[in-house]
Every structure is written in structure tokens, then in C-alpha cells.
Amino acid sequence: MQQTRTWAEIDLSALRHNLSHAHNHSGKAVMGVIKADAYGHGLIRFARALEKENLPFFGVAHTQEARRLTEAGLNTQIYLLSATLPDERAEIAANPWTPCLCTLDEIAHFGRLSQEKPLTAHLAIDTGMGRGGFLPNQIAEALQALKKHPQLTLGGIGSHLPAADEDPEFTKEQFLLFDRLVRDILATPDLKIVENPWIHLANSAGLLGYCSETSNLIRPGLLLYGLSPIPEFQKYLRPVMTLKTRVSLINTLPAGHGVSYGRTILQKETRIAILGIGYGDGYPRALSDTGTHVLIRDTPCPLLGRVTMDQIIVDITHLPECETGDHAILFGQELLITDLATRAKTIAWEILTQLTPRVERHYINERAADSPTER
Ligand SMILES: *Cc1c(COP(=O)(O)O)cnc(C)c1O
């Protein structure tokens, strides 16, 4: 078997665990948000695993991601999470993808395209995100415009939360506003909407901390991957990805010697291990000199000096049994990305999506029926 230096182990049983937590906690159907290469977990493999869970939707950012899913033969309904460019719309109308309508221009254009083939879209309303959708005072006009297009039907109504993990006061108000707007919309005479429309607002933080009375669908991303944007809920989740590398070299350096670029000077004689991972793999350079650690043989080993492109150096003075070839964990269940993100002054979403293609993705614990080798 070919050996790899650095790999991301992706535990699909953790995905199933997180998914059922999202569903049970909210009591709502789940749109699996798999944009940005499924948050670095690998779009197609991840979507195949998720397809077994019979979700009503996969959420992606735009047509390029939708196209990859459709070309790979995935059948779950694809929802496009952002506004569309004019030159993307013909492809959207020709495919079984669901766009959200953010502007009168989109309504008019999709309305024209729907003359060839009926089209279902969701209405995006802006309840505070400021990233697209009709403002409350623009909704009536949007609904009026829809009436001109007999083949363009609303399949749902959605909005998005800008601060569900930061600002509970605002977010509570936003949920109330959303529910009120949805009730008003649904009460509009002659509304062109399906019988049981999808009503959705909540991302991961929104579904954990809040509840909308009108909504029947949630849109978790981060939570599916086992990380909670609200720390108190982390205990219910299992991180899907564990980032691993191996010890490539061990050495003992004297006090006063420097380590890595810029020469961080050692205060005492130090036994060091070199690990085959760096910012070229997506391990954040901003973790340099933040007091972070990695795990070797379940033991925290402090990061020494700056993160380089392909290698990092850790202190193993307290771990005499450490050997070349030992596995090291950069993040996972016992070393949460959310904690690393705080140290690196970023967010878990960014660390996940910045993992580079050099990191091989290894999938484990697929449902037995999916992996013939287990039979
Ligand atoms: C990315 C995204 C989500 C998922 O957000 P998480 O915080 O990762 O759960 C949900 N809805 C929309 C519109 C998004 O863009």
C-alpha cells in the first residue's frame, strides 16, 4: 500500500450521528449544505454518503458545484444558496436545480425561461443578512411580478441569519420577523406557491439556539461536519474530520538554538519531532507562536516556532517513547478546530475550506451496504 504523509480521515458514521442530532433537535427536515467541496470533506464522496440519508435538498453555492453533483449522478434535489448571474440562468432552468429568487430581474428572467419548461424556485427574503433577497417592503412587488409567469412557481421561502452565534437579541427578533413575513406571504390571495412549501431560515447556530414556528427545513453546514458554532452544543456532536500526519524526523536541540523561520530561540535543551504538514496543506500559519499543540500518542505536544509550507516542529521532550513514523493529530475529536480557529484568529469554516488538495481524504465507516469490501 502506498503511504501518505498527511491525510484527513473522514468518519461517515460521525456524519450520520450529527445529521440525526440536527434532525432530532429541530424536528425539521434537513438541507445538507455541501458547498465549498463539502467544507473540505470532498464534494462527491460526501454527497454520495449523504444521498443514502434521503434528504430533501443539498445546498451548494453556485452552478459549478451543482454541475459537478449532477454530472456525478447524484439525485438529491440541489438548492442554489446565492443569487444567480444572468448567464447562469439558462443552465439552471434546464437542470433539476432550485434557485432562490433575490431580485425582480431574476423573476422576469426565470419567468421567461420557464415558458420552455416549468420551474420551481424559492423566494429569498432579506431579514437582516444584507446579502441578497427581497427586503420586507419589496416582497409585495415580488409576489406581484411572479403572477405574470404561469410556469414559474414558488416552492418555498428562505432567509439567512447573520449573527445567530453572536447576537441572540437580534437573532430572536429576526426569527419573529421571519415568521411574521412568512405568514403574511402565505396569506396573500392568488399566491403562486406549492401546497406544502419549504420554509427555511436556520443555519447551524440558528437551529441549535432558536426555533422558527413557520419553518419546516433547516440548512446546517458546520454542524453536519461535527463542529458547533455555539460551544455549549459541542458535546452532542462528533467531528467528522481528523487531520493526521506522521513524524518524519526526531532530534535533540541545545538551549539557545533556533527553530524554524525567524528563529524562535529554545530556552532549554529540547527533543523535537518534525511533522510532514504545513500551511501548504492548509494547516494555518497563523497558529505559529499561539501556544497550540498537536497530539502524538494521545499526548499534547506544543508547536515550536513558525509553521512552514511543508513541515512543522513540535516539542516531544516529555514523550520519550515517540518514534519516527508515529501518527500525529492536528485536529479532530480531542483537539477541536473551533479552538484552533480562536487561536489563529479565524473561524472553523475557514480552516476546513482551506485544506488543500495535497491532503488525501480517507473515508471510513461508510454504511455497510455501500462498501462491497465489507460484505
Ligand atoms: C453556508 C450557508 C449555510 C450553512 O451555514 P453553517 O453556519 O455552516 O451551518 C446555510 N445557509 C446559507 C444561505 C449559507 O450560505
CB 233 within 8 A of CB 336: no
Out of 178-187, 240-249, 253-262, 363-372, which region has the weakest mean confidence (pLDDT)?
Answer: 363-372
pLDDT digits (tens, 9 = 90+) for 288-346: 999 999 999 999 999 999 999 999 999 999 999 999 999 999 999 999 999 999 999 99
Q: What confidence score (pLDDT) does residue 309 get?
A: 98
Q: Which atom of ligand 1 is nearest to the CA of 204?
A: 9
Residue tagged 467541496 (cell numbers)? 37
H or E element in which residue 166 lies: none
Q: What confidence score (pLDDT) does residue 375 get?
A: 29
Q: What confidence score (pLDDT) does residue 367 get?
A: 87
| Ligand 1 near 203 CB (within 6 A) | yes
Q: Is 279 marked active-site?
A: no
Q: What is the 219 CA–ligand 1 centroid distance (Å)?
A: 6
Q: What is the 111 CA–ligand 1 centroid distance (Å)?
A: 27
**Given a cut of 60, is residue 236 above it in pLDDT?**
yes
Question: Using 50, 70 and 90 to split pLDDT, how confident is the model at 373?
Answer: very low
Q: What is the 369 CA–ligand 1 centroid distance (Å)?
A: 30
Work out the average pLDDT over 264-291.
98
Chain-centroid distance of CA 197 in Å reads 25
Q: Provide the whole-model pTM.
A: 0.96
pLDDT digits (tens, 9 = 90+) for 139-177: 999 999 999 999 999 999 999 999 999 999 999 999 999
| Ligand 1 near 18 CB (within 6 A) | no
For residue 101, the SS3 value is: strand
Question: Using 50, 70 and 90 to split pLDDT, how confident is the model at 374?
Answer: very low
Q: Which atom of ligand 1 is nearest to the CA of 349?
A: 8
**Given a cut of 60, is residue 372 above it in pLDDT?**
no
Work out the average pLDDT over 198-226.
98
Which region, left, alpha or beta, applies to residue 110 given φ > 0 means left and ψ of -120 to 50 means alpha?
alpha
